[in-house]
Structure 1
Amino acid sequence: MLLKFALQEFIEDREFQNLSETTLTSYKDTFKQFEEFCTSKEIVNVNDVTTNTIKSYINHCRKLGNNTTSTNSKLRRLKALFNHLVNEEVIKTNPASKLSSSKEDIKIEVFSDNQVKQMLNYYRRIKKREKSFFAYRDYTIIVVLLSTGLRQTELTHLKWANIDFNYYTLKVFGKSRKIETIPLTEKLVKELASYKVYCEQTFGKDNLNDYVFTNRQNKPLSANAVQNVFKRLSKIMNFKDVRLSSHTFRHTFCQRCIQSGMSTFAVQKLMRHSSISTTERYAAMWGNDLAEQNDKYNPLNNLEV
């Protein structure tokens, strides 16, 4: 079977399984790059793909600047592809089966309090000038991410109907399309209520989009549009030690929760981690911070012993 047809068949199978659009896109992007790489090596038949072919592809991705997390993700997708082809009896063995993921250097970036203040102050300043819509929208995006730890896809799918302004809760459509409810602080509810009034004044109350975050044409923001928001802000802020992205806001939310002394169980629920072991890894990363908190709040501090 031609490689291009094998890739197409796999995508159609995953569409039939009703995978999320985000997951499908990640498969498509990897397969497009892999097919182009194979074509450059004059490999067009799926039976001609060897373990060395996949190794060379992963090394090629590294040379392009892909980090270990990215190359491991691409390897997982290729393993899934060839497992499918084995099950369909297109090939006899999976050429990726003996390849192991590379060890990842775990470094979780978070924003400092000063960096957060710089970003919010920047939007406050330009809100008063000509770009008020973009400034108010992007300011609200940051406030929501900082206060909830939402994932980027959860942010772009956020609708006004998901927000309960009376009971201070938010329905989140997270991974695996599970619906989960998380609490909101009174401060965030007030910010969202004010932003909603602003959107009604900008677009008209009868024309308010179902989605919370839109572009100037009142159409829902795409994931790519959110990424562009942070790319523009990154050039302005010029932070040297941290990447400006929605995921960094999520990590910052998680770190602040852990540093505040919140229980691991509570952090897991707020972050919507499927396993508490994921939350525990985050807690372990910020062990030094927890030690500082312990030194500050330990019960023995106020006792004569």
Structure 2
Amino acid sequence: MMIWEDVKKDFKRYLQLERNLSNNSVEAYLNDVHKLEAYCAYVKKSLEQVDRRTIQQFLIFINDFNISPYTQARLLSGLKTFFAFLQIEYDWSTNPAELLESPRLSRKIPSVLNVQEIDALIGAIDLSTNEGMRNKTILEVLYGCGLRVSELVGLKISNLYLDVEFIKVEGKGNKERLIPVGNQAIKYLKIYLNEVRPLSPAKPGHEDIVFLNRRGAQLTRVMVFLIIKDLAKSIGLTKTISPHTFRHSFASHLVEGGADLRAVQDMLGHESITTTEIYTHIDKDYLQSVITQYHPRS
């Protein structure tokens, strides 16, 4: 009889070593399997007894908890990966989740900030403090490079090539990419690294991390969320924003300025250009110009 804990340990190693996934992605996959395990315990089924009908009933069961279609789709994707792993490592004959269809997902247009709102947020930072200078640098890098918050907090000094105006980041799946960095971000990175960061000696293991807290440790993702939330509150901004809003704004403003979608895709680290194309729908002036130029009634 297969033991859930043993199988999950093997699955974790598979995700880390063979799929080379980030810690966050590994935890998400394991959490999906843990949900299925809890359901199987509830209906008194062993792992070997799980078939397509079991997974269908499991998805119906969790749907009663008002889980969003996006979460359901991601959960099913995780289970498909898990059973594909069982086929490889445990010689399972079939993948019971393989033929199940994910719920249809609506394509939401992301919220973005305009240039005036970004300037107001950055302008609200108190530059008389060391933390203020750090926070100013954080926002300049977020907006100037379009980083994910995980990429920002994991940014390394050894991956800064400011003399040639590039930085290297480690994105999803530990994939590396080079991103050009603008003059404003370079200016404040140099000030922060030379004048502010040395005032908080890095803890062992954090010497190469760019952004540190007051105790010399790597900033957490939550801390970056709180910094932005407090700034939004201070200027009375009613939009719901997060670090990812700066990434959306970075991409949207590039597309509005006429940047090539392929270039924006590379800078964002999107695997598919269809993900990047969402930013063409944000630019109303661009859409209007398409109508004006190509529609016979215009």
Asked if 1 retains the 8 angstrom alpha-carbon contact of 2:200 and 2:214, the reply is no
Specify the SS of the correspondent of 2:121: helix
Asked if 2 retains the 8 angstrom alpha-carbon contact of 1:4 and 1:35, the reply is no
Q: Determine the structure 1 residue equivalent to 2:159.
A: 162
Asked if 2 retains the 8 angstrom alpha-carbon contact of 1:7 and 1:81, the reply is no
Q: Determine the structure 2 residue equivalent to 1:78.
A: 79
1:168-207 residue pairs with structure 2 within 5 A?
168-203=165-200
Q: Determine the structure 2 residue equivalent to 1:141.
A: 138
Q: Does 1:245 align with 2:242?
A: yes
Distance 1:80 1:62 in 2: 20
> How far apart are residue 288 of structure 1 and its match?
3.2
The residue type equivalent to 1:110 in the other structure is S
> How far apart are residue 153 of structure 1 and its match?
2.4
2:209 to 205, 208, 211: 211
> How far apart are residue 219 of structure 1 and its match?
0.9
> How far apart are residue 220 of structure 1 and its match?
1.3
Change (3 A) 1:274 1:239: same
* Cα RMSD for the two superposed structures: 3.2
TM-score by length of 1: 0.79
Asked if 2 retains the 8 angstrom alpha-carbon contact of 1:145 and 1:246, the reply is yes
Asked if 2 retains the 8 angstrom alpha-carbon contact of 1:6 and 1:46, the reply is no
Percent identity over the alignment is 26
Q: Deviations over 1:204-254 (max 9, x none)?
A: 599993211112111112345444545666776786554x22322211111
The residue type equivalent to 2:281 in the other structure is M
Asked if 1 retains the 8 angstrom alpha-carbon contact of 2:109 and 2:282, the reply is no
2:40 to 30, 38, 43: 38
Larger deviation: 174-183 or 246-255?
174-183
Distance 1:215 1:206 in 2: 10
Change (3 A) 1:204 1:177: closer
Distance 2:232 2:43 in 1: 38
TM-score by length of 2: 0.81
Larger deviation: 266-275 or 141-150?
266-275
Q: Determine the structure 2 residue equivalent to 1:288.
A: 284
Specify the SS of the correspondent of 1:166: helix
Asked if 1 retains the 8 angstrom alpha-carbon contact of 2:202 and 2:216, the reply is no
Distance 1:48 1:230 in 2: 48
The residue type equivalent to 1:41 in the other structure is V
1:65-144 residue pairs with structure 2 within 5 A?
66-89=67-90, 91-113=92-114, 114-124=116-126, 127-128=127-128, 132-144=129-141
Query: Which ranges in structure 2 are unaligned for 5 or more consecutive residues?
Result: 294-298
Specify the SS of the correspondent of 1:290: helix
Larger deviation: 217-226 or 149-158?
217-226
Asked if 2 retains the 8 angstrom alpha-carbon contact of 1:110 and 1:249, the reply is no
Q: Determine the structure 2 residue equivalent to 1:24.
A: 26
Change (3 A) 1:7 1:189: same
1:255 to 234, 247, 252: 252
Asked if 1 retains the 8 angstrom alpha-carbon contact of 2:146 and 2:250, the reply is yes
Change (3 A) 1:48 1:260: same
Query: Which ranges in structure 1 are unaligned for 5 or more consecutive residues?
Result: 299-305
Aligned length: 289
Asked if 2 retains the 8 angstrom alpha-carbon contact of 1:50 and 1:95, the reply is yes
Distance 2:138 2:269 in 1: 19
Specify the SS of the correspondent of 1:76: helix
> How far apart are residue 283 of structure 1 and its match?
4.3
> How far apart are residue 112 of structure 1 and its match?
2.5
